[in-house]
Amino acid sequence: MKITGLDHITINIKDVEKTNFFYGELLGLKELPSIDMGDHLLRYFAIPGGTRLELIQYRYPTRNLEYEATDKGIARHFAFVVKDVKALEKQLTKAGYPFCSPVTFNEKLGFAGGLVKDPNGFELEFLEYPPKTEKK
């Protein structure tokens, strides 16, 4: 057996309009055709490199869970590589999505990056290699 790639990453949707705006308009991901599964709808966005973001919209009531980044047994975040992480931080903050971990240079890992939560409360990391951000 050999893994040949990553097909998709899934997030359960809390707010469809805010989620579509965040991933489509703010992050500029291309929306792909949705698939109706009966009791839920699968909404897709293309991530450069061939991976898809799969957003699940359930058609029946589900619980909203709150969790902390250090809680065990959760998917903590996934990370996007971007060209200008400071500009993205400004854009997302202006749109109402301030970074919960502001952009900083991580000398040990060799990137500038920060963390933000999407409209569903899922944490995303944005990284810049090599960083334009000045070392502090």
CATH, domain range 8-58: 3.10.180.10
Fold of 77-128: 2,3-Dihydroxybiphenyl 1,2-Dioxygenase; domain 1 (3.10.180)
Read off the tokens for 104: 């900083």
What local confidence, expressed as pLDDT, does residue 132 receive? 72
- The rounded distance, in Å, linking the Cα atoms of 109 and 80 is 15
> Does residue 135 register a pLDDT over 70?
no
Q: How far is CA 122 from the centre of its chain?
A: 7
Q: For 60-98, what is each residue's pLDDT tens digit?
A: 999 988 888 888 888 889 999 999 999 999 999 999 999
Ordered by start, the domain boundaries in the chain are 8-58, 77-128
User: Token pair of 109, please?
Assistant: 């890992």
pLDDT one-digit tens code per residue, 92-134: 999 999 999 999 999 999 999 999 999 999 999 999 998 774 5
**Which tokens sit at 49?**
């490199």
Closest to 80 in 3D by CA, of 9, 135, 32: 9
pTM of the model: 0.90
32, β-bridge pairs: 44
